[in-house]
Structure 1
Amino acid sequence: MKIKIIIADDNSFIREGMKIILSTFEEFEILQTLNDGREAVEYCINNDVDIAILDVRMPDMNGVEATKLIAEKTKTKPLILTTFDDDEYIVDAIKNGAKGYLLKNNDPEKIKDALISVYNGNTVMQEVVLDKIKEHLKENKREKECKIDRSLFTERELDVMSLIAKGYSNKEISKTLFISEGTVANYITSILGKTSLEHRTQIAIYFIKGDLE
Structure 2
Amino acid sequence: MTIKLLIADDDAIVREGFKMVLGMDESFEIVGTVENGKEAVEFCKNTDVDVALLDVRMPVKNGVEATLEICEKTKTKVLILTTFDDDEFINDAIRYGAKGYLLKSNPPEKIKSAIKMVYGGNAVIENVVFDKLKENLKVSNKGKIDKSLFSEREFQIIESISRGLSNREISKELFISEGTVANYITSILNKTGLEHRTQIAIYYLNNGKI
- TM bucket (normalised to shorter chain) is 0.7 to 0.9
Distance 2:96 2:52 in 1: 14
1:199 corresponding residue in structure 2: 195
Counterparts of 1:132-151 in structure 2, within 5 Å, are: 132-138=132-138, 147-151=144-148
Cα RMSD over matched residues? 2.6
1:108 corresponding residue in structure 2: 108
2:92 corresponding residue in structure 1: 92
Distance 1:139 1:164 in 2: 13
2:177 corresponding residue in structure 1: 179
SS in 1 for 2:22: helix
1:178 alignment partner AA: I
1:5 corresponding residue in structure 2: 5
Return the TM-score normalized by structure 2: 0.85
Deviation at 1:164, TM superposition (A): 3.8
Structure 2 residues not aligned, in runs of 5+: none
Identity %: 57
2:34 alignment partner AA: L
SS in 1 for 2:59: coil
Return the TM-score normalized by structure 1: 0.84
What per-residue deviation string (whole Å, max 9, x for no partner) do you get for residues 10-35 of structure 1? 11111111111111222111111101
2:121 corresponding residue in structure 1: 121
1:33 alignment partner AA: T
Deviation at 1:70, TM superposition (A): 0.6
Q: Which moved more, 1:20-29 or 1:41-50?
A: 20-29
Structure 1 residues not aligned, in runs of 5+: none
Indicate yes or no: 2:158 matched with 1:161: yes
How has the CA–CA distance of structure 1 residues 133 and 174 changed in structure 2, closer, same or farther, with 3 Å as cutoff?
closer
2:3 alignment partner AA: I
How has the CA–CA distance of structure 1 residues 174 and 28 changed in structure 2, closer, same or farther, with 3 Å as cutoff?
farther
Q: What is the aligned length? A: 204
1:179 alignment partner AA: S
